[in-house]
Amino acid sequence: MELPTKTFRVTRADLVRYAGASGDFNPIHWSDRFATKVGLPGVIAHGMFTMALVGRAVAEWAGAPDAVVDYGVRFTRPVVVPDDDAGTEIEVTARVKEVTGEGLTRLDITATCRGEKVLSQARAVIRTPR
């Protein structure tokens, strides 16, 4: 069973707010000049910010944040965020892999940006919504 797609817009302003909240002011998250100098295609979103957005989708599917029992990902590809008002979008989909007898649902998650997967081995376990 496929769960409804969740879409999250990410702008440079979001990266500034996340940097302030997390304390991660690495210039790859705000300076095109620095990001390209180190071999990136441009400014990229913080990996943990991307993971948090996907986690928000999991919590919404679960019905509440405390219904998320386990959640993990591997970072595959950076989310490049252009310097414009539109930013970029991360699309999150999930498929129910298993519903256990213990009232848990295992999800396989896919997160993409511009048609490319940005996470791998993205999985979650949630309490089965009633």
**Concatenated DSSP letters of the chain:** -EEEEEEEEE-HHHHHHHHHHH----GGGT-HHHHHHTT-SS-B--HHHHHHHHHHHHHHHHTSGGGEEEEEEEE-S--B--SSSS-EEEEEEEEEEEE-TTSEEEEEEEEEETTEE-EEEEEEEEEPP-
Report the Cα–Cα distance between both ends of the chain, in Å, rounded.
16
pLDDT of residue 130: 67
pTM higher than the cut 0.85: yes
pLDDT of residue 128: 84
Domains (range + CATH), the chain: 2-127 (3.10.129.10)
**Are the beta carbons of 3 and 54 closer than 8 angstroms?**
no
**pLDDT tens string 80-118:** 999 999 999 999 999 999 999 999 999 999 999 999 999
**pLDDT tens string 37-52:** 999 999 999 999 999 9
Is the confidence at residue 122, as pLDDT, over 90? yes
